[in-house]
Each structure stands twice: as structure tokens, then as C-alpha cells.
Homo-oligomer: A and B are copies of this chain.
Amino acid sequence: MEDFSLLYSYFEKIGNRELTDTEKEEIVSVFRKETFNKKQRIFNAGDENTRHYYIEKGLLRMYIIDQSGKEFNLLFGKERQWLGDLSTPATTSYYLEAVEKTTVFSISESAFASIMSKYTELSTNIRRSYIFLQKRFVAILSKTAEENYEELLNNDPDLVQRLPQYHISSYLGVTPVFLSKIIAKRARKKD
């Protein structure tokens, strides 16, 4: 039998109460537990009606590929975070891929909408995502790449450790070459 305990505790946390057995069954019936290998693609630009992913373990990245073929990492998601394209069920412009071997609980848009009406705190999530993206947007617009790197290092050192440098540079909106320069410069400063 698959283990849904992390998902239960998530709903217990947001609902601020214990779940009944019926509620647990309901959750099991709408979520699908899935595992993706490192570098495995979960959805592609052009796909319709993509699912929402609550991550049990591992690390995902959502990215675009621009006209010239370059990738831009928009968001990462790790343990106990949601990731997905909120424009679903419309055709997505993004790719979702596992950076590490990752297990998730996935849910369709329609089921998501319906459990949202039961667990209204879920909509707080979308709002929180918005606030996060807004901050990130402002930071990238108004700060230098070096400052943004520092900030990421402070806010989520674990992420910096788990990601290859070229994924971080793409998240910060610079080339891997430039991030490498930044890091070299910082190392020089330190001693």
C-alpha cells in the first residue's frame, strides 16, 4: 500500500485539524502518487490540462525554452512544495522536469478545483506563489546578478547545493559563464 502520510499531514496542517478516515480515502482517490527519475520530463510546452504536483521528496524545475533554444528556469519545487502551471487547463508554455529522482502526489485541475472548495486554505497557496513570484521579479529587475545570487544563497542554501550551477544561473537570468565569474570573484574576496 502506498504511503500518503505526507499528504495527510499537509491537509491536516492547512485545515488545522485531523482528517477522518473518509477524508483520507477521498484524498487517496483524487491524488496519484508518481515517481520520476532524474532528468525525466513530466510535461512539455504544448501540453494541455497539466496536473498540479505536491512534492514528497526530490526536486523539480519548471522552465521555458525561448526562440533561440535557451532554457530559463522559472521555478523550482522541492519537498513539501507545490509546483505546476496555474494556467492549466489551457495549453502550457512550460516544461516540467525532475532534477533529482522525485516522488510526487499529483492531481488534475478539475479535482484540484473541487477540493479547493473544501480546503479553502489551498487558495492561499496561489496567493503565496504570487507574492513569491512578485518578489523574485522585482529582485531580478532591480538588483545585480551578484546580489541575486547572494540572496538565493541566504534564502535557500539547500537549493544552491542541490542544483548544478547552470540551473542556478538560468534561474537568475544570467549565463553559466557569468555566474562562474561571480562565484570566482566572491571566493577571491573572502580571503
Contacts and interface: CB of A to CB of B under 8 A. Distances in A.
Main secondary structure of the interface of A (DSSP, over half): helix
| Copies, count | 2
A134 B72 CA distance: 12
Contacts of A87: 131, 134
A131 B155 CA distance: 24
A123 interface: yes
A142 interface: yes
Contact of A137 (B126, B127, B133): B133
Nearest to A65: B142
A137 B137 contact: yes
A71 to B, nearest CB: 9
Contacts of A72: 138, 141-142
B173 A86 contact: no
A168 to B, nearest CB: 14
Contacts of A178: none
Contacts of A190: none
Interface in A108-156: 117, 120, 123, 126-127, 129-131, 133-138, 140-143
21 contacts: A64-B138, A64-B142, A66-B142, A66-B143, A70-B142, A72-B138, A72-B142, A74-B134, A74-B137, A74-B138, A86-B130, A86-B134, A87-B131, A93-B135, A117-B120, A129-B130, A130-B130, A133-B134, A136-B137, A137-B140, A140-B141
Interface of A: 64, 66, 70, 72, 74, 86-87, 93, 117, 120, 123, 126-127, 129-131, 133-138, 140-143, 173
